[in-house]
Amino acid sequence: MSEQALNDAIDFDPDALRDRYREERDKRLRTDGNEQYVEIKGQYAHYLEDPYVEERIERDPLTDEVDVVVVGGGFGGLLAGARLREAGVKNLRMIEKGGEFGGTWYWNRYPGAACDIESYVYLPLLEETGFMPVEKYTRAPEILEHSKRIAKKYDLYNNAALQTEVEEVRWNESLQRWIIKTNRGDAMKAKFVIMSNGPLHRPKLPGIKGVESFKGHTFHTSRWDYAYTGGSPAGGLTKLKGKRVGIIGTGATAVQCVPHLAEGADELYVFQRTPSSIDVRNNRETDWDWAKSLEPGWHKHRMENFNILVSGGFASEDLVNDGWTEIIRNLLFIASQGDNKNLSPEKLAEIAELADFKKMEQVRSRVDEVIKDPEIAEALKPWYRQFCKRPCFHDEYLAAFNKPNVHLIDTNGQGVEKITETSIIANGQEYEVDCLIYATGFEVGTDYTRRSGYELYGRDGKSLTDTWSDGIQSLYGMNVRGFPNVFIMGGAQAGFTANYPHLLEEQSNHIAWVINEADKRQASTIEPSEEGQSAWVDRVLEKAVMRTKFLEECTPGYYNNEGKASERSGQNAPYGGGSVEYFEILDKWRNEGEMSGLELN
């Protein structure tokens, strides 16, 4: 690429942006990392109560035996259940804490809740269920309905244990079975256990001084209290009339509910530590002619196309063509301004950074276009690379700050100072509120078993927490030595993708294949070999380098362990080779059919 062509393609000062990004990150770096948050238990336990259950299910404790127990009724569990049914598994039990299937979408019903990954790639099993979402970006109620549709189609209600929380999973060597204990007094047995507890499952509170003392009404966004606010996920929070509401947090959740709070409350105070990047959403109705024209296999093809593009790969077409894939279009544009053949990885990284600057400049200029007050506009601008934090896409969030009843309380990266019985204190100022809403997200970097809410005891009674005390050990993120016949669905040591259900789809196919194969080969247990597991961990560590470097430069958040990298960060992270490569590894492994790295007994 000629320097001239490159200069023509960029209309910003990269050095100035680099400096600004660093300055904004440094301002937010803190030594306590994840410790800054309060674990929701004890005096805070009421924040976890399920406000959505209409009637408690009464049943006797279960002490029977099933072939497979699936913990978690969200997309991961539903996909695993569906693929196992397809593989002929009949004796299957889904265990779910909530009163329904749906997982994330069971809990997150806050006003405006919706998914901003395109619905045609986000929703699983569209071809299998014959369902087509009504809009390009689906809303939470439609997703919840789709979860129920999947459960019905694959007969997953049958034998399910809903409103049931697992408390312990323990291997019984003489029986060669897992014993699963729950809060319903169950002690059921299972040959296989699949755990799909959800990556953003356990809400967290900020460890702000005085957080326990607030006497007004309060709740976390994942347990929305419609009895207090009125309205529904579609909005209409009429009971907030006459009320002063404070919301802490400005992540993807707050972005979706703030416009509705702005509509309903008399006064709304939005406490911001770091602004989100808010790009165009442009939702629209599904083009039904297009939907009818789709050929079998379209869903997988579209998911793969999206995943390649958002993973920084190249594809000849961009089927989804939205704000997620735009960065790659910028990258291609910049790269095409000269000789783009045989670019070194360093040059490619440089171009990717420029494409990112270009994208974020556009996001920042949108703030200026929408916000009337220049001071507020400045405070709403994000200064970091697009994928340092979860990018957001919304067409009403920014405009809400033009309303006279909406007050942005920007804390210049420092967060809220203190909470009292009646108020929130930030920047030395006190804001009295009737209702305080925590949009402060979910635990990510804490121990797996703390997040799942139960311990797993494998061979010789050794716990998973102890086994992983020096970092995660696994084969492909799914199987762990010492824990025969257990499968973990999730992102650690697996391929990260912005379209999380895509990962769950690939993992569920893999798990169903392994269970089916173990059955065919009459194995009573499968478990990673010492060598198989350590080879995968070594590969994860080796590939962690590039991603670690990127994340170090980022402003703190849950993507980079709150800016506090630890020795375990690389090992506990997603596979650094990316999801495209990870899916290929799994696919190749199954095609080879040797089950290498696993011991079958």
Pick between residue 75 and residue 487 the one whose CB is nearest to ligand NDP: 75
Pick between residue 426 and residue 586 the one whose CB is nearest to ligand NDP: 426
| Residue 40 engages ligand NDP in binding (rule: CB under 6 A) | no
Closest CB 269 distance from ligand NDP, rounded Å? 12
Pick between residue 24 and residue 434 the one whose CB is nearest to ligand NDP: 24
Among 117, 262, 360, 486, binds ligand NDP (CB under 6 A): 117
Q: Can you name the residues that pair with 434 across neighbouring β-strands?
A: none
How far from 202 is each of 40, 223, 403, 447, CA to CA, in Å?
8, 11, 33, 12
| Residue 72 engages ligand NDP in binding (rule: CB under 6 A) | no
Among 17, 80, 84, 115, binds ligand NDP (CB under 6 A): 115
| Residue 261 engages ligand NDP in binding (rule: CB under 6 A) | no
**Maximum distance among all Cα pairs of the chain, rounded to whole angstroms:** 75
Among 229, 253, 493, 561, binds ligand NDP (CB under 6 A): 253
Closest CB 233 distance from ligand NDP, rounded Å? 12
Site stretch for ligand NDP (CB under 6 A), options 14-22, 269-277, 308-316, 372-380: 269-277
Distance in angstroms (rounded) separating the CA atoms of residues 143 and 501? 12
Per-residue binding letters, 393-422, with ligand NDP (x by CB under 6 A):
----------------------xx------
| Residue 439 engages ligand NDP in binding (rule: CB under 6 A) | yes
* 296 burial type by CB count under 10 A (0-12 exposed, 13-18 middle, 19+ buried): exposed
Closest CB 238 distance from ligand NDP, rounded Å? 24
Closest CB 115 distance from ligand NDP, rounded Å? 4
Pick between residue 203 and residue 458 the one whose CB is nearest to ligand NDP: 203
Closest CB 242 distance from ligand NDP, rounded Å? 26
* 600 burial type by CB count under 10 A (0-12 exposed, 13-18 middle, 19+ buried): middle
Q: Which amino acid is at 1?
A: M
Residue 170 is inside which H or E element, if any?
strand 166-172
- Footprint (CB under 6 A) of ligand NDP, residues 324-363: none
| Residue 424 engages ligand NDP in binding (rule: CB under 6 A) | no
Among 273, 358, 364, 543, binds ligand NDP (CB under 6 A): 273
Among 76, 102, 246, 251, binds ligand NDP (CB under 6 A): 251
Residue 597 is inside which H or E element, if any?
none
How far from 98 is each of 82, 161, 275, 578, CA to CA, in Å?
19, 10, 32, 32
3-state SS class at 8 = helix
Q: How many helices (H) and strands (E) does the chain have?
A: 21, 21
Rounded to 5°, angle at Cα 559 from 555 and 560: 60
| Residue 248 engages ligand NDP in binding (rule: CB under 6 A) | yes
Backbone angles phi, psi at 481, to 5 degrees: -65, 135
Among 68, 80, 180, 254, binds ligand NDP (CB under 6 A): 254
Radius of gyration of the chain, Cα coordinates, nearest whole angstrom: 24
* Backbone angle region of 253, left / alpha / beta, with phi > 0 → left and psi within -120 to 50 → alpha: alpha
| Residue 206 engages ligand NDP in binding (rule: CB under 6 A) | yes
Pick between residue 200 and residue 504 the one whose CB is nearest to ligand NDP: 200
* 33 burial type by CB count under 10 A (0-12 exposed, 13-18 middle, 19+ buried): middle
Number of residues this chain uses to bind ligand NDP (CB under 6 A): 26
Among 330, 440, 533, 571, binds ligand NDP (CB under 6 A): 440
CB 474 within 8 A of CB 480: yes
Among 256, 423, 560, 561, binds ligand NDP (CB under 6 A): 256
- Footprint (CB under 6 A) of ligand NDP, residues 525-584: 557-558
Closest CB 111 distance from ligand NDP, rounded Å? 12
Distance in angstroms (rounded) separating the CA atoms of residues 184 and 356? 50
Distance in angstroms (rounded) separating the CA atoms of residues 482 and 461? 9
Q: Which residues bind ligand NDP (CB under 6 A)?
A: 115-117, 200, 206, 208, 248-254, 256, 271, 273-274, 390, 415-416, 439-442, 557-558
